[in-house]
Structure 1
Amino acid sequence: MNKDSKIYIAGHRGMVGSAIWRALENSGYSNLVGRTSKELDLRDQKAVTLFFKEEKPEIVIDAAARVGGILANNDYPYQFLMENLQIQNNLIDGAHKFDVSKFIFLGSSCIYPKFAPQPLKEEYLLTDSLEPTNEWYAIAKIAGVKACEAIRKQFGKDFVSLMPTNLYGPFDNFDLKTSHVLPAMIRKFHDAKNNGNAPVTLWGSGSPMREFLYVEDLADAVVYALENKLPENLYNIGTGRDITIKELAEAIQKIVGHEGEIQWDSTKPDGTPRKLMNVDKMRDQGWKASISLSDGIALTYEWFLQNQESFKEVKL
């Protein structure tokens, strides 16, 4: 691995991809390649094949995906399944055909069964049914994990899958229609604070437990996986600590400075009751997260305040 190795980051404009780009630059990597969705439609197999033929990247990091929260997954199941399959299949197959030396596939903790034992271990994959509200996205990501495993098994190539827990941070999606729980709460509490500390209504009971990873920690894990040959194909990336949604809401409310009431709408779904990652395998390889949840939320809210004028509604 050389600092001038050509590294293609798919999805380099997104929250995850941009964090990886910054982390690689900070680590001295100087030959980074990115394409916007207008420049390269990753759903188009011919276009992706031509890209690999012309650019000849040595390393590929797949941070490209169609993502969203419970509402978006429920409303657009076909797009979440098909577009994610198209994106990752084109990238994985292109990387294989053009002899990319290392491929890092990024997925999500939602690949694990809804009622799998906690904390979630890598071997729990495909042992039971998925959470119905995001199974479309999960099935696509499971297919990506298995494709990388198959290439690793059949051809001996260094294709590895990293499954992060719930991510948040700079360049997150704060659109209330399509965002995940943590950025949605930041937006809701901020807007309510500016509206005379109006009450904030949140989905569910507040009892589910979730784990959150600051996106720059994930980027650090990607750099670590890039610079070290990991002996297995699948690794969880997280903090190994979780928090109830109610505790998360109270933490965000305090950091934002909202002084109104929190109301819980129990008619809305809670989703998976608990989703904590077992991160022992990655820790055994020498990596662990370093940014606390309170510090990460404060950094994310600071970024939100600096960039809120640029937020646009996401049209699906």
Structure 2
Amino acid sequence: MDRRARIYVAGHTGMVGAAVVRRLRAAGYDDLVLRTRAELDLTDQAAVRDFMAAHRPAYVVDCAARVGGIKANMTHPAEFLYENLQIQNNLIWSARDAGVETFLFLGSSCIYPRGCPQPMREDYFMTGRPEPTNEAYAYAKIAGMKLCEYLHEESGRNFVSCMPTNIYGEGDNFDPETSHVIPALLRRMHEAREAGAPEVVIWGTGDSRREFLHVEDLADAVLWLLAHHRAKRFLNVGTGQDISVRELAERIRSLVGYEGALVFDATKPDGMPRKALDVSALHAAGWHHRIGFEEGLRRTYDWYLAHVARAGMPV
């Protein structure tokens, strides 16, 4: 990649987008085009088209999406499907019209079927229906990935996708209503410790298994993919290692120093029983993660203490 190339990072104020911007700048890429939601509404087709035509970036990294945990996905499926389709369609199509050289679309592990063989290989994509608790988000991501594939075939343009596993780290969303499992558990156990609460109730049986990748590792993978990935088929991005929600909760309890009980509410959904990625294709191509899970959890909790808990922020 030419370090003089203009790069647009969509969604740069979110956890993933912000990490991508930090990684690009650290690598010497200075011509970055960035817009906040207030400056550019990505659901506005005309605004996105005009923006892309005016700035004509050589590379686009699509980190923009409406995201949330199981509760948010189950409560607002229509909004998750509609808003994500709008955002990604506007970005992908306007990038095509503006002559963007490389467009990198970030998918989600929820694209894989609920009963998918484990670990999940790229070949298992679209071999069954997604997990019902987040199928609206999954269908939006599937549509974006297929649109990039079709444009890759039709135009020969390098419109490609990657499929990250569950991401966590500094800058995560700690909102109790919309956060994913790691920030949710970190916040709830910290607050339970501070309040002296005797127990923390956790959705599900605790038996479901998840894989987690630190956001700085994902940002590093994004830079690698921009420079090396030229195939129309997406690549999984993760660690290839998973953990049960129960073990995750125990690790977070130990990290936070919470001494109360963990109560698993089996009347609430577990989501997909297991989501572990086969990352052998990415490893064979030359990229590996670097941040261990214990280090990543500690860094995430330290960020929460500095930017949310001690700062007195509501989320």
TM-score normalized by the length of structure 1: 0.97
After TM superposition, the runs of 4+ consecutive aligned structure 1 residues lying more than 6 A away are: none
Cα distance in structure 2, aligned partners of 1:198 and 1:293? 27
Change in Cα spacing, 1:158 to 1:310, as seen in structure 2 (3 Å) is farther
Q: Secondary structure at the match of 2:226?
A: helix
Q: Name the counterpart of 1:225.
A: 225
Q: Name the counterpart of 1:42.
A: 42
Taking only the aligned residue pairs, the percentage that are identical comes to 51
- Map of 1:205-216 to 2, 5 A cutoff? 205-216=205-216
Q: 1:197 deviation in Å? A: 4.9
- Map of 1:1-316 to 2, 5 A cutoff? 1-308=1-308, 309=311, 311-312=313-314
Q: 1:33 deviation in Å? A: 1.1
Aligned partner letter, 1:106: L
Q: Secondary structure at the match of 2:163?
A: strand
Query: What CA RMSD, in Å, does the superposition of the two structures yield over aligned residues?
Result: 1.0
Q: 1:4 deviation in Å? A: 1.8
* 1:263-302 deviation line (CA, Å, top 9, x unaligned): 1111111111100000011111100111111110000000
Q: 1:312 deviation in Å? A: 3.8
Structure 1 residue runs of 5 or longer lacking an equivalent are: none
Q: Secondary structure at the match of 1:19?
A: helix
The 8 Å contact of residues 12 and 35 in structure 1, kept in 2 or not, is answered as: yes
The 8 Å contact of residues 69 and 181 in structure 1, kept in 2 or not, is answered as: yes
The 8 Å contact of residues 120 and 277 in structure 1, kept in 2 or not, is answered as: yes
Aligned partner letter, 2:266: S
* 1:7-52 deviation line (CA, Å, top 9, x unaligned): 0000000000000000101111111111111100000000000101
Number of aligned residue pairs: give it. 313
Aligned partner letter, 2:223: V
Cα distance in structure 1, aligned partners of 2:43 and 2:180? 24
Q: 1:256 deviation in Å? A: 1.0
Structure 2 residue runs of 5 or longer lacking an equivalent are: none
Mean Cα deviation higher: 3-12 or 189-198 = 189-198
Cα distance in structure 2, aligned partners of 1:74 and 1:247? 25
